[in-house]
Structure 1
Amino acid sequence: MNPRQSQALYRERIARAVAAIVRDPLAEHTLQGLAALAHFSPFHFHRVYLSVTGETVAATIRRVRLAQATRQLVQREPSVTRIGQDAGYDSPQAFSRAFRQFTGASPQAFRSRLRQHQGPPVLLETLPAMQVQALRHVGPPATIPHTQRQLRQMLGPTPVRTWLGLAWGDPQVAGDFTYYAGAVFDPATLIQGMTQLEVACGLYAIYTLAGPYAQIGAAINALYAVWLPQSGYEPEDRPVLEHYLNSPRDTAPEALQTRLMIPVRAINAAAGASV
């Protein structure tokens, strides 16, 4: 087994543990139980987990619970207090403090901002076709940051013009989600093991999100649930793009900026084309 195959096997085994956490964030996840799922010795599991995911098991559980809370906050119900209880916090104050550390905003402010889209507005922009060199993500959505780190390691000093995430389907539906970590750079420097994807020219609804990447899923859900039905546009069959404007390697989570780009077409134009 070569080193790349060995790394893929480690990621696959750790992904089983992460998937168990994502599937039931409030369960009592012990190191022994998660190690058994990943077929590692409990004595070594935590170090392997940290090396693959870049965070501790406890940090993953906390992050997944809070990410689940961001998705719930998109809806009008339940209440913020109930969402905090569902996330495992004994008091609204404890939940609010943890949520603010996680997203840079209180739960109520986060909910209001998603509903009203306070901040940068949704813009419509036609983007040219792109050739993207990409690395397919294997495992649950919670381990996407590892795939992004792996892509950056593979590219090394290669001058990259644009860092992207490309997503098809719904991450909440099993078997319906595909994600690639991508980069736009000189095709002549294509790295072995990567895939070249062609992204067609088209119209996108673009919202610039300020804050941690953990907010991306909730923000996209809000765009689909709140903005899109009132916009006069409908989704088109191209990937949703995440354009990372800066890097968590040298930027505080609350200062991260991500352009979220949903492919759309005018509803009238689509209806006319089918006549």
Structure 2
Amino acid sequence: MNPRQSQALYRERIAQAVAAIVRDPLAEHTLHSLAALAHFSPFHFHRVYLSVTGETVAATIRRVRLAQATRQLVRTEPSVTQIGQDAGYDSPQAFSRAFRQFAGASPQAFRRRLHQYTGPAVQLENLPALHLHAVRHIGPPATIPHTQRRLRQLLGQTPVRAWFGLAWGDPNHGTDFSYYAGAALDVALPPTAGLEPLAVAPGLYAVHMLNGPYTQIGAAINALYATWLPQSGYEPEDRPVLEHYLNSPRDTAPEALQTRLLIPIRTLGAPAGVNA
């Protein structure tokens, strides 16, 4: 088995453990039970998990539980206190601190922002073809940050002009969802294990600037499809949805993150590839 195959096998086995956490984040996930799912010795599982995902098992569980809390806050019920208890926090204060660190706002402020949302501001933009170096995501959508981290590790000190996420399909429905972490480079790069070239055809996009944590990306894209697209005179075209990351959580607070969300479109009823 060559190194690339070995690395892929490690990621696939760890993905089984992550998928179990995502399916039931409130279950009592122990190192022994997760190690058994991934077919690793429990004595070494934690180090293997950390090396593959870039975070501890406890951090993954905490992040998935808080992501579940953001979905609950969309509704007017249950109470914030109940949502915190459902996420495994013993007090509202502990939940509020953890949620603020995760989403860049308190649970109450996050809920108010969602309820005051009147629809996305959108601009139309024609983009040229994109030629990227990319890593395909393996595993549930909740582990996409791990794939983005892996792309950065593979590129090392290579200068990057722009960072992207590329998504085909709906992450919450069906089995046709696929995602790549991609980078646009200004320099030629020799073949690198784990990286593959990825081209995106030129075309028209509906562009929305999202200011805030990445946890809001899913809701913002859903709003584009639900509130803007049906009355726009356009329809989706068969190109990936793009997430263009303008800064990085490594050196930027969650509330200051900026992400351009781009929905590929064409004039309603026009043949494929025709924008007007």
TM over 0.5: yes
Name structure 2 gaps, 5 residues minimum.
none
1:217-274 CA distances to partner (integer Å, 9 max, x unpaired)?
A: 233233333443454443222111111111233333333221121222343657xx9x
User: What is residue 151 of structure 1 aligned with on the other side?
Assistant: 151
1: distance between equivalents of 2:91 and 2:251? 33
User: What is residue 203 of structure 2 aligned with on the other side?
Assistant: 202
CA, structure 1 residues 174+36, in 2 after alignment: closer, same or farther (shift >3 Å)?
farther
User: Greater CA deviation, 19-28 or 243-252?
Assistant: 243-252
CA, structure 1 residues 167+75, in 2 after alignment: closer, same or farther (shift >3 Å)?
farther
Give secondary structure in 1 for the equivalent of 2:25: coil
Residues 49 and 57 in structure 1, CA contact (< 8 A), matched pair in contact too: yes
Give secondary structure in 2 for the equivalent of 1:132: strand
Residues 30-69 of structure 1: matches in 2 within 5 Å?
30-69=30-69
Residues 119 and 228 in structure 2, CA contact (< 8 A), matched pair in contact too: no
1: distance between equivalents of 2:267 and 2:99? 37
Name structure 1 gaps, 5 residues minimum.
none
The normalised TM-score by structure 1 is 0.86
Shift of 1:123: 2.4
Give secondary structure in 1 for the equivalent of 2:183: strand
CA, structure 1 residues 268+169, in 2 after alignment: closer, same or farther (shift >3 Å)?
closer
Give secondary structure in 1 for the equivalent of 2:199: strand
Task: Answer yes or no: is 1:14 the counterpart of 2:14.
Answer: yes
Give secondary structure in 1 for the equivalent of 2:247: coil
2: distance between equivalents of 1:229 and 1:112? 25
User: What is residue 219 of structure 2 aligned with on the other side?
Assistant: 218
User: What is residue 268 of structure 2 aligned with on the other side?
Assistant: 267
1: distance between equivalents of 2:98 and 2:162? 32
Residues 120 and 223 in structure 2, CA contact (< 8 A), matched pair in contact too: no
The normalised TM-score by structure 2 is 0.85
User: Greater CA deviation, 224-233 or 162-171?
Assistant: 224-233
Shift of 1:76: 5.4
1:123-176 CA distances to partner (integer Å, 9 max, x unpaired)?
A: 222222212221111122222222222222222232221111101111123522
Residues 1-275 of structure 1: matches in 2 within 5 Å?
1-75=1-75, 78=78, 80-117=80-117, 121-186=121-186, 188-193=188-193, 194-267=195-268
1:187-209 CA distances to partner (integer Å, 9 max, x unpaired)?
A: 74253343222212222222222
The answer to which structure has the higher helix fraction is 1
Residues 167 and 240 in structure 2, CA contact (< 8 A), matched pair in contact too: yes
Give secondary structure in 2 for the equivalent of 1:152: helix
CA, structure 1 residues 144+197, in 2 after alignment: closer, same or farther (shift >3 Å)?
same
2: distance between equivalents of 1:106 and 1:268? 43
Residues 234 and 266 in structure 1, CA contact (< 8 A), matched pair in contact too: yes
User: Greater CA deviation, 257-266 or 90-99?
Assistant: 90-99
Shift of 1:25: 1.0
> Number of residue pairs matched?
272
